[in-house]
Amino acid sequence: MKKHIRIILRSIGVLVLMLILFCYAMFQGGFVSWFLFYGYLPIGIYQLLFALYPLRTWQVSREIEHPVYQAGDDMVVKVHIKRRLPFPLLYCTFEEQFPASLMKEDTKKTKYLSSQTSGQMAVSRKLIRMLFPLFRRHFTFSYSVQSLPRGEHTLDKVTIQTGEIFGFIKKSRDFQIESTCIVYPYEHQVRFISETASFEQGGVLSNQLQQMNTTIASGNREYAPGDRFAWIDWKQSARKQTMMTKEFDREKSVDILLVHDNLQKEKEHPLLYEASIEMSLSLLKELTKKKNATSFLSIGDRAHVFEAGHHEQQLEVIKRYLLTARPEEQGSFSLRFREEIAQLNQADIIFLLLTSIDAELVQAIQEAKQRMKHFAIIYIHPEKYLSEEEKHLLEPLYFSDIAVQELSLEHLGADPVEVIFK
């Protein structure tokens, strides 16, 4: 309403100025006075017509090149503007009103490097594009949004502002245009590495992931380094003149439970939560490739449980949850962990993804280990090396036959991320 009143008052000012110049020319006479009047007359008429020109008739549309991205990707947006009347406009400005969810940036694995581990993902995004319509009725331009953060983002408003040549009258209008893009968490390449030559802790766990039924062969393939000597198929090797080995089906689908700590921590490094989300998805994807029946449990104010599955459809459901997951209110993870584990059926393997550790949680893990066949912990910490307090807390777990994998943020800066069970 204030904008309309301002335009009306300035239009009246233009009329008054034209009237003053006309009166001056009538009473004064002479070349100079009439030159001033006739010189300003086309400008004044244009200003009045501009004041009457409606921006509401403009048609503004936004086109997102791809609706689905991965965190850290760049998004290209194409904007189309149409108007009915080819009224001459010297310039106009287009401003995109970015939502709060886009006021962060994600640089994929680069954000974990030592030079960038301050963890401040917040960024101020602002886009103002200067356009020169002149007499054109349709014009198109594009822009890019770099380093997209994880989440579901909705662009819903743009502002167009224009003015006449002297800037005496300016007009602006907001256009409600809703466009949504989905940005899934960044997926690390995960490689499981085991030192299985001996029965060190974690060796049994790694063998569980590769469990085979070696009683019935399902086919043949060329020999590869690491295959057992007993698996060589001598008949096929002699027939094909190359070393062939037998292939075996999996004896059973290993039941795996991945547990994620979704509770908010005080003074936690800002990147730790994003790291836990990314590693959760990366581990789930790698385990799904291995055809393991994997369940996912995210513990926060309430438990988010996704039942066992080993197909892409199950993974998509979990990805949808991780897309918009946020740390929930601060609480006792050890207490909630005890409650949830007590209600679960026995699993072959439990992966516990942690970003903090305390004495109560260590005790809860040791109690849960007594009910489970194999237990593994992936502990993500911000510094390059563990503190003395963290070492002291993790020490009882090493002696409880629990495989503990320590990952610093710097380790996540390199792909593939090696998950080693010692």
Q: 349 and 268 in one domain?
A: yes
Q: What is the CATH number of the domain that holds 141?
A: 2.60.40.10
Spell out where 71-227 has E strands. 75-82, 92-97, 127-131, 138-145, 151-163, 170-184, 190-194, 217-222
How much is the pLDDT for 114? 58
Whether residue 72 is found in the same domain as residue 180: yes
SS3 159: strand
Domain count, the chain: 4
Locate the DSSP E strands across 233-358: 244-248, 255-261, 293-299, 303-309, 349-354
Whether residues 29 and 151 share a domain: the answer is: no
Q: Is residue 130 part of a domain?
A: yes
Residue 201 lies in a domain: no
Residues 276 and 146 both lie in one domain:
no
In a domain, 203, yes or no: no
For residues 306 and 317, the answer to whether their CB atoms sit within 8 Å is yes
Residues 245 and 270 in one domain: no
Give the three-state DSSP class for 99: coil
pLDDT of residue 218: 61
362 and 313: one domain? yes
Q: What is the pLDDT of residue 227?
A: 65
pLDDT at 195: 47
Is the residue at 96 inside a domain? yes
The number of beta carbons lying within 10 Å of the beta carbon of residue 176 is 8
Question: Is residue 158 domain-shared with residue 289, that is, in the same domain?
Answer: no
Report residue 230: phi and psi, to 5°: -70, -15
Q: State pTM to two decimals.
A: 0.79
Domain identity same for 223 and 297: no
CATH number at residue 333: 3.40.50.410
Give domain status of residue 195, yes or no. no
- Taking only the tens of pLDDT, the chain with its 422 residues reads 677 788 888 888 888 888 988 888 888 878 888 888 888 888 888 888 888 889 999 999 999 988 899 999 999 999 999 999 889 999 999 999 999 999 999 988 888 885 545 556 788 899 999 999 999 999 999 999 999 999 999 999 999 999 888 888 889 999 999 999 999 999 998 887 764 433 333 444 555 555 444 445 567 777 776 566 677 777 777 787 788 887 655 444 567 889 999 988 877 888 899 999 999 999 988 888 877 778 899 998 888 888 766 567 778 889 999 999 998 887 788 888 888 888 876 667 888 999 988 899 999 888 888 877 778 899 998 888 888 998 899 888 888 888 888 888 888 888 788 876 55
- Are 335 and 365 found together in one domain? yes
Residue 232, pLDDT score: 79
Same domain? For 280 and 323 the reply is: yes
pLDDT at position 266 is 79
311 in any annotated domain: yes
Same domain, 166 and 220: no
Are residues 412 and 266 part of one domain?
A: yes
Give the pLDDT of residue 405: 87
Give the range of the structural domain holding residue 134, as residue numbers without chain letter: 59-184
